[in-house]
Structure formats: C-alpha cells, structure tokens
Chain A
Amino acid sequence: HVQLEESGGGVVQPGGSLRLSCTSSGFTFGDFVIHWVRQAPGKGLEWVALISHDGSDQKYGDSVRGRFTVSRDNFENTLYLQMNSLTTEDTGVYYCAKVPLASSNSGPKDWYFDVWGRGTLVTVSS
C-alpha cells in the first residue's frame, strides 16, 4: 500500500526557517519524482517544487524560488523541504505527492500528482 506522510509543520515567526519531511512506504521511493504542493487556508492548491528521482534536478514555483530547497534521501525513503525567509504568505498545509510512473518510463508531462500525503500545517505568525 503506497503511503506518504508529512511532518515537521508548526508555528514559526516571519523570517524564520522550517524543515518539512515526507516519509514514504509501499513503493520504491528512489524511482519516482516527488512534489511539494501547498494550500493556504481557504485557498486553492499551489505547486511548490519537484525533485527528480535521484535528486539531481529540482524545479520551484515562482513564489518560493531562492527561499525553499527540496532534497531527498533515497536510502531513508524521505523527502525534505527546507524553507527559509518565511513570510505570512507561506502559511498553509503542505502536501507531498508522488508521480504515477517511475522516471525511467516518464517525462515532465506525466509527472502529475498521483498519491498524496495528508499534509502538515505550517503557520507563519509573530
């Protein structure tokens, strides 16, 4: 059974940092691109970042580029999101989501969000 579980959310002051984790089970983690997607309270979904199966390539949304860093540890089956210079606009639920096909069988247009975790809440407030 494929599962993703986010952790590391909490309350942080503006300008602060936080690191989120996403642990996985039920599939060969190192074969798949993984995304971070967030949702501000009462708002829609916003794509944050993706990382290639081997960690060699990352892509970021415009609002987080230069402040957030996505990384992964394929030995520990864990994805990370290091968030720096946080602002109140970064408040929301952060989801990790895997793509459906292993990287050897897919390209960017097939890297859609197949299985999602339950999310972890990040609150940026003074």
Chain B
Amino acid sequence: QSVLTQPPSASGTPGQRVTISCSGTSSRIVFDYVYWYQQFPGAAPKLLIYRNNQRPSGVPDRFSGSQSGSSASLAISGLQSEDEADYYCATWDDRLSGRWVFGGGTKVTVL
C-alpha cells in the first residue's frame, strides 16, 4: 500500500479540466514539497511539476500543481489527447531515516 493515495483513474474529453489528487495515508505525513511525474507506456517517467507548483522548462502551462497540508493535486486544463498517460505524485518523507515515496499512480484517459 502506497504512503500516498491517488485515484487509480481519471478521464475527460478534449478541452476539459481534469484534477488528480494525492493524499498522505498517515495523518503524520505532511508535505513540504510534492512532485509530479508523467509516464507514457514503455517510457521512463518525466518530471512534470516540482516544489508543488513549479514547471520545468518545456512543460505546457496547462499543467499546474497545488499543495496544502497532507494533500496535493495536479490539474490538467484544456485536456489534449497526448495527455493520456500515467501520473505519479512523490514526496520526501523525512521520518525515521528518510525515504522517497510515490503515489500509486493515476491513469488519465482522454475520451
């Protein structure tokens, strides 16, 4: 069971806004920074959002991130067919000796 919980799937039609949530499964986990990754089948993950809401160069501005307490979300505005992929949230959990944790992933389908 992932420390971070994501819905297994999300969908929308082209042009719609889709939001993916990422919640800590323990009340003790509080995010400082959340990161989001996009992964297409057979490919390596790609950094989409860093430090909650920052986009690396080259990432379209229709992708946006937010964070509050032990929850975070990724929004895709103006959904496009090429956005169909798996999306993962991740954070640093500094309890005990420290570790990185991922959410279970959300498959986004463009209808």
Q: Mark A residues whose CB is within 8 Å of B.
A: 35, 37, 44-47, 50, 59-62, 95, 100, 108-114, 116-119
Contacts and interface: CB of A to CB of B under 8 A. Distances in A.
B5 to A, nearest CB: 12
Please give me the 3 A-B residue pairs with the lowest Cβ-Cβ distance, nearest first.
Answer: A47-B100, A116-B44, A44-B105
Contacts of A112: 33, 35, 47, 50, 90, 92, 100
Nearest to A62: B99
A109 B37 contact: no
Given A44-B2, A119-B44, A109 B99 contact: no
B37 to A, nearest CB: 7
Interface of B: 2, 32-33, 35, 37, 39, 43-47, 50, 86, 88, 90, 92, 94, 97-105
A95 B102 contact: no
A117 B44 CA distance: 7
B98 A59 contact: yes
Nearest to B97: A59
14 contacts: A37-B45, A44-B102, A46-B102, A47-B102, A60-B99, A95-B44, A95-B45, A108-B94, A109-B92, A110-B33, A112-B50, A112-B92, A113-B45, A113-B90
Contacts of B86: 44
Most B CB within 10 A of own CB, among A35, A100, A108, A118: A108
Contact of A113 (B32, B47, B94, B101): B47
B11 to A, nearest CB: 19
Given A112-B47, A117-B44, A35 B103 contact: no
A110 B44 CA distance: 20
A45 B45 contact: yes
A35 B43 CA distance: 17
